[in-house]
Structure 1
Amino acid sequence: MNAEEAKRIVADQKELVEEKLASNYIKRDTGDISRFLTVPNVLAILGVRRSGKSTLSLMLVKELNVKFAYLNFDDENLYGLIAKDLKLVEQAIYEVYSSDVGYLIFDEVHNVKGWELFISRLRETKRVIITGSNSKMLSGELATSLTGRHSDFILFPFSFREYLRFKRVSEETPISTRRIAEVNVELERYMEVGGFPEALMIGRDQIDVIYNDILFKDVAFRYKVRELEKFKDFSKSLISYYSSEVSLSKLAKVIGVDKKTVDLWSFGVENAYLVYFLPRYGEKPRERLTYNKKVYVVDPGVISRVALRAKDKGRVMENLVALKLLRDNQLKGLHYVKGKDFEVDFYDEVNSRLLQVTYSSDKVEEREFKALLKAEEMLRARELVVVTYDIEGEEEREGRKIKLIPLYKFLLS
């Protein structure tokens, strides 16, 4: 790459950014993450491909009304870029934007080998936002060189609240019968199409495009997967286990590959934020390593398009609850609980609560309450919750109050 080439690429991307900034975008429920934009701290916005990371970055600087520069390293014109080329890129940015630009946004910068030292140098004088669809991008040289001076935010596709905002439906928790019905109709649609912004704007078929890009660009290419057909079968099978325990050893036998390969593939799809593996609660770390994990998929639209089995509404509900908890807790402190004769879907350690999810049409089965009470004996959680489809109220068992919350209300809370 030469200086003129770098300048042309930066200028071309600047034109696209200006068009983006002129558009209206859905406000994301991120809290005040702009507070992390201080020198020498780096804000890393991470998450699955096409969840809106670059748009969120641009919305942040637009709201702050500051001078900024933007560069997307997922551009095919930058393919093969190496660390020594980054000096030319930096020079091009100052020529195209301004030498006194104070904010820098680098999209998918981890595509460049050796990017870490480049960012580490820039953050000493600039406010830097980096985005990535690779959960391990901050575990290497950057983490060492920054010595903790970075803040990570995991962005998901639209939540149900953000989906309603996109559809121009009131996101306030409904009270009237008519409004509850309206919100539940949208919830049914959300369970089908999910929250990828492109899928909502273009159509459900776009989910297939996003899914294939994740598989091949973020996993197969990065991890040099050779057996592509078997890898596709593996991914489809794994997604079909949504809201269920999965044994990777058994899955390896079904697919016809060795366990080491399946471990690598599962690491890849988790690293690309396509799925999340939820550990079973164990008092000792060693116990947690021996248990099977439950798998949850990043978006209900992917489940409806990819999963092999017929859609199970109860399991889709559970996946939605998992995504809300993962989103709210930023992946921290979430487990499932299992004993000899009971299982509870979620232990939210951050908020000290146990949650059970059930697709109940008239009443909650007694076994759901019993499971919560048995888990509560073990964990002493402050709050016990059953997320239902449409039942609301409160039950009391053995002196403990158990909240019953409809799914729509839980997702909007």
Structure 2
Amino acid sequence: MIQRPDYLNFLMEWKDQPIIKVISGIRRCGKSTLFDLFQEQLRAEGVGEEQIICLNFEEAENEDLCDYRALYDHVKSRMLPDKMNYIFLDEIQHVTDYQKAVDSLFVKKNADVYLTGSNAYFMSGELATLLSGRYVELKMLPLSFKEYVSAFDGSLSKEELYRNYVYNSSFPYTVGLKDRRNIYAYLDGIYNTVVLNDIVARKHVQDPSMLKSVLRFLFDNIGNLCTLKKVADTMTSSGRKISPRTVENYLEGVTDSLLMYRVSRYDIKGKEYLQVQDKYYLADVGLRYYLLGTRNVDQGHILENVVYLELLRRGYRVYVGKSGSAEVDFVAQDYDGNLEYYQVSWTMRDEATLQRELRPLDTISDHNPKYLLTMDNDPPASYNGIRQKFVLDWLLGK
């Protein structure tokens, strides 16, 4: 199993704390495997096998436990009265009124409860309401570039590994699939399960083919500013009339499924959040190649998507920056409210391109860190305090 040290450390830090631990993330991003890794760590620290209770509600043998009372009675019957019990409930959203069982377990002093769920209906609206003030959330993504690289023996260059990372997908299971046909089949399964189960069913979509057309548009426009009207007008011009209201419903479903992330704009000079023209990024850019193929790929926007996800992994809140009439790719805000600014470009060896990318950062008058991230493997450089870095080293934490 590929190690996920940042996520594992999060669980270790919260171990035995009187609060529910929740792991969210798109389907197949590795949540169940993280449970396995954490349970291995518990055993290594002396926790007995009988203290670990693990149930996955996507397994048929647990179907009878998808009622909260049956679940509670089952877990309670397995708990040891004189030791801490580590309770792992995987894909808990399948359990009717799950919060009643979770609450009843949570109040026991010898129960340490861990949950996973695959969509943001469970993770945001429902969870915040039903478990308010009683949980911490770990937002999990597919493999980072650093985690992906750790799965290989060092015979490939960083550039080759990056190409494989974005093309073959960052979902953990794809690392072991050597044939592109098998990778395609695996991604096809994830995509259709997310679309049909997490979007069509939950949002009551009446025209799944229209939803898929909107998804093709979004996948083809990662990193571009989008409005509801722009999406609706594009569909209408291609002969598929759709209202902005319906587009809004679809986009809510797409982001709630954690298939894509919506990134709002931030006015750097006015220090305010803007309500129009968002950008959308994929949870895994390999899905873009799966759906649209390799033609007309903007490598700069693919790289931008990878950088966006890495900023999320590092704990930042991320926005698209607006500085006057100029655009800054990302404004990253840490837990203390400190800001960092990022421009991402495939290459900046051309002087005109370099000046174009520097210009938006030069318009920012504050002294927060500013970075240029590029695929140019050149020595680090600085332009009036703006630091240029080789993006693959940055992704590897160097």
TM-score normalized with structure 2 length: 0.85
Equivalent residues of 1:298, 1:323 under 8 A apart: yes
Cα drift, residue 80 of structure 1 = 9.2
Q: Partner of 2:238 in structure 1? A: none
Matching residue of 1:18:
none
Q: What's the % identity of the aligned pairs?
A: 26
Question: Which amino acid is the alignment partner of residue 191 of structure 1?
Answer: V
User: Structure 2 vs 1, CA of residues 313 and 51 (structure 1 numbering), >3 Å: closer, same or farther?
Assistant: same
Q: What's the CA shift for 1:366? A: 0.8
Q: What letter matches 2:167 in structure 1?
A: E
Kindly indicate whether residue 331 of structure 2 is the aligned counterpart of residue 342 of structure 1.
no
Whether 1:231 and 2:214 are equivalent positions in the alignment is no
What is the match of residue 191 of structure 2?
A: 211
Q: What amino acid does structure 2 have at the position aligned with 1:120?
A: D
1:227-266 matched pairs, under 5 angstroms: 227-255=207-235, 256-266=241-251
Partner of 2:74: 92
Tell me the CA shift for residue 133 of structure 1: 1.3
TM-fit CA distance, 1:273: 1.0
Cα contact 2:344–2:373 (8 A) shared by 1: yes
The within-5 A match list for 1:5-24 is 24=1
1:293 equivalent among 246, 255, 278: 278
- After superposition, the C-alpha distances for 1:19-74 in whole angstroms (9 at most, x for unaligned) are xxxxx443443233222233530110111100000110221122012321111122
Residue 33 (structure 2) pairs with residue 55 (structure 1): yes
* Alignment-derived partner of residue 121 in structure 1: 104
- When residues 394 and 186 of structure 1 are mapped into structure 2, their CA distance, relative to the original with a 3 A threshold, is closer
Output aligned runs, 1:49-198, within 5 Å.
49-65=27-43, 66=47, 67-76=51-60, 85-93=67-75, 97=78, 99-100=80-81, 102-125=85-108, 126-140=111-125, 142-144=127-129, 146-169=131-154, 182-198=157-173
Separation in 2, partners of 1:217, 1:145:
22
Closer/same/farther in 2, CA of residues 261 and 141 from structure 1, 3 Å limit: closer
2:307 aligns to what? 321
Give the aligned partner of residue 375 of structure 2. Answer: 389
Q: In 2, Cα distance between the equivalents of 1:69 and 1:250?
A: 49
Change (3 A) 1:404 1:391: farther
Superimposed CA distance per residue, residues 260-285 of structure 1 (whole angstroms, 9 cap, x where no aligned partner): 22111111111111111111103799
Gap regions ≥5 residues in structure 1: 1-23, 170-178
d(CA) in 2 for partners of 1:258 and 1:77? Answer: 44
Shift of the 362–43 alpha-carbon distance from structure 1 to 2, 3 Å rule, reads same
Q: Which amino acid aligns with 1:322?
A: Y
Q: Is the 8 A contact 1:73 1:108 kept in 2?
A: yes
Paired residue total: 370
Match of 2:55, SS state, is: strand
- Which amino acid is the alignment partner of residue 291 of structure 1? V
Q: Please tell me the residue identity of whatever aligns with 1:276.
A: Y
- Listed one character per residue, the Cα deviations across residues 83-129 of structure 1 (whole Å, up to 9, x for unaligned) are xx32223333455x554570111111122331112211211121111
Q: Whole-Å Cα distance in 2 between the matches of residues 396 and 168 of structure 1?
A: 33
Deviation per residue, 1:157-203 (Å, 9 max, x gap): 1111110112233xxxxxxxxx8x71211111112112101222234
- Residue 305 of structure 1 and its aligned partner are, at CA, apart by 1.2
Q: CA deviation at 1:338?
A: 2.4
Establish whether residue 371 from structure 1 lines up as the match of residue 360 from structure 2: yes
Q: Provide structure 2 residue ranges, at least 5 long, that are not aligned to the other structure.
A: 236-240
Hey, what's the Cα distance between the residues in 1 that align with 2:104 and 2:367? 45
- 1:77 shift after superposition: 5.9
- Counterpart residue type for residue 52 of structure 1: G
Judged with a 3 Å threshold, the aligned counterparts in structure 2 of structure 1 residues 55 and 312 are, in CA distance, closer, same or farther, namely same
CA displacement at 1:79 relative to structure 2:
6.0
User: Cα–Cα, structure 1 residues 128 and 313, in superposed 2: closer, same or farther, change >3 Å?
Assistant: same
1:358 corresponds to which residue? 345
User: 2:28 aligns to what SS in structure 1?
Assistant: coil
> Following TM superposition, by how much is the alpha carbon of 1:411 offset from its aligned partner in structure 2, in angstroms?
0.6
CA RMSD in angstroms, aligned pairs only: 2.6
1-side partners of 2:324 and 2:348: how far apart? 28
TM-score by length of 1: 0.82
Find the aligned partners of 1:391 and 1:341 in 2 and give their Cα distance.
30
